[in-house]
Structure 1
Amino acid sequence: MRVGIAALVCGYLLSQFYRAFLAVLSPVLQEDLGATAADLASASGWWFLAFAAMQLPIGEGLDRIGPRRTAGGLMLVGAAGAALFAVATAIWQIKLAMALIGVGCAPVLMACYYIFARSYALALFGTLAGVTIGVGSLGNVAASLPLSAAVEVFGWRGAVWGLAGFTGVVALGILALVRDPPSLVREEKGSLLDLLKIPAIWPILAMMAVCYTPVAGLRGLWVGPYFSDVHGFDAGEIGRISLWMGLAMVAGNFAYGPLDRWVGSRKWVIFIGNALTVLCVLGLWAFADGSPAVAAGLLIAAGLFGASFPMVVAHGRAFIPPHMMGRGVTLLNLFGIAPIGLAQIATGRIHAETPADPASAPYQAVFLFFAVTTAIGLVIYLWSRDRTD
């Protein structure tokens, strides 16, 4: 079981990498393919939307055929998408490649969560979920300074070809090593409607929709164009800032993991952490054209406080019946990922339509969007029921 989980965590490393690597590749894609910030925001959005669109079918797959074939088979699609990215000569090919990679990355974290929920003590779920994301977030770190170094040595196409090969190897490893828990699907299988009839789920779904959106959007794309256009940073400098933000996200995931047991509450750990994230993003909006060191510090702090995703999943999972666990956790993930894709497309349009006078103005509009939407989710989340295992 452990070696299979290790294979899935490698898949999640790639998932974190792919959702963040456009921030570092943005300068070379702009130069080689003429990609604009709006184009790259759209490409990033398609990754998240494809990822989200797969969640409900993946939930059925986890419950019916198990995590091994569900995750391993789709990861092969992601390898094909990375290969398409490596040979792309037009923006539409980049967008299609990102969508295929999103399909491939979609099942790996939920496959881990399904195994945790079915094979380990309930009280450990939040900790195991946080550790998985913490370790997997090293992929986010790799999509920063290490990626920029690889691009300098091999070129961006060579670096992405290497990623395509590694993705294929991980897919085969999942198929070979993962062991499925015994199925619990009954004749009365339940449905998505049955899950949505659970009143306690709804405020948690609202929190899922915003808890990861600002840090994923900023780290996944906007940190690159912002520091390039406003502060004149090159790919190496952007890579260093992305690295520190990624490390903060790793630390945040590990920190959130055991807090529900230490504090005795999931709701208030989640609420306070996301409120601090809103303050950081509002700081970016207020001081966007100020010191780059201040902006970098606020991004790093947002990465730390905005890592509550596994804790929110743990909060929602506590209300899901065991025989519907696959569909339940993927429903939560759908609400956690789809809004990021929509937000990336929306912020791309906001950026394009905001006059760049001063140069920071389009980015201030993006930062304000993330702050306001997260604050709305926080208000709705106040109505949630607290529950720990």
Structure 2
Amino acid sequence: MRVAGERRTAAEGPDLRCTPRSRQNPHTMCGGRGPAHSLARDDGLWLMAPLPRRLDCAAMTTESPHHAEREQTDESLRVEREKADQAVEGHLSTVEERADAIVNQARERADRLLAATRARTDRLPPSGGAQAGAEVLRRERRAEDRLLQEERDTADEALRGERAEHAALLASERDETDRDLLAERARSDDTLAMRDEFLGIVSHDLRNMLTGIVGFAGLIATDLTEQRPVAPSIRHAGRIERSAARMNRLIGDLVDIASIEAGRLAVAREPGDPAAVVTEVVEFFQVQAAAASIALVARVIPPTSLAVFDTARIVQVLTNLISNALKFTPAGGRVIVQVERRGDDMHFAVSDTGVGLPADRLEAVFGRFVQVADNDRRGVGLGLYISKCIVQGHEGRIWVESAPGQGSTFHVTLPVHPAG
């Protein structure tokens, strides 16, 4: 097992690029809003300057392709909705007309039957007290007619109410569909914006590191040509190596993201020693921690035992957590990496005395392209997301406990003997 690999170490050093000392490069990117990544020399010297993290490319186009696609989608949706409305309206109208015709036909038949029955009654021979009996019959028939009309009015009102409820239900479903569509569209917009920003940061970082490699290689070539002392060339070679390692880590993260999206993130679990993993990762970060005046401590709580896990992947998780802890812990602070067995789980914890996180960020920090701190653009916001997916691939859990100004503790639990 090796920690000091090509892609699982912490990010080292600022982003560098080569610019001439006495003049600015006249060639710029994005409508003059950012310096191009070109190399120039002045008086035989290369000078390195940090690149800006964000580039404003708004002047490159007046209308994004997303906007045109959105308008096309809206128009297609409007046309399809009109077709659906017309079809539904026509269907409902046909159904209601048929229902009304059936009801009216039944009522007319009932009225004819009632009239025929009354006519037969009227043709019967009158009995004694015919005049009084006829008056009583007329009152009864008027009462029957009123009752029948009231029943029909009540039935008509109920039918209108049902139709109104159906119409209201259809309108409510349409409103709910619209709200879902708007919510989905907002999520899509956020995803597109996040993706565009992510691609901008990644391409910027890769170009930045590549420029540093080319610049330091030029310095080495100059040193060799002019037969200068070898010590500066060794330092430049070390910087090239670190930049190449950072590029490899970034590319590795992109590969991991693609694997996660495709559901094919590789996790090869074998028996291993969690205590040895923690010890080795912490030893690797000691130089970086000492340079930042941060105490980095490995704490192994006995008794520990072997567990079944992917050693390289858990090293990747701990590397991400320790790197973040060092990044957000001020000088004089402390980072503790602890491992212990708790029941059937192996529990890792990375605690720091850094800036901490607010409650509303404790879940969000594990999302894609999400930075631990809003105003910090070191990295591209993939480390914790990939770590979460790796831990879940081990049937484990990862979470954070934190409060602003009180540091953070990231917890990882892995089953000692995973199912299957």
Instruction: Give TM class, smaller chain.
Output: under 0.3
Determine which structure has more spread, i.e. the larger CA radius of gyration.
2
- Specify which structure has the bigger relative contact order, considering alpha-carbon pairs within 8 angstroms and separated by 6 or more residues: 1
Structure with the larger helix share? 1
- Normalising by structure 1, we get a TM-score of 0.26
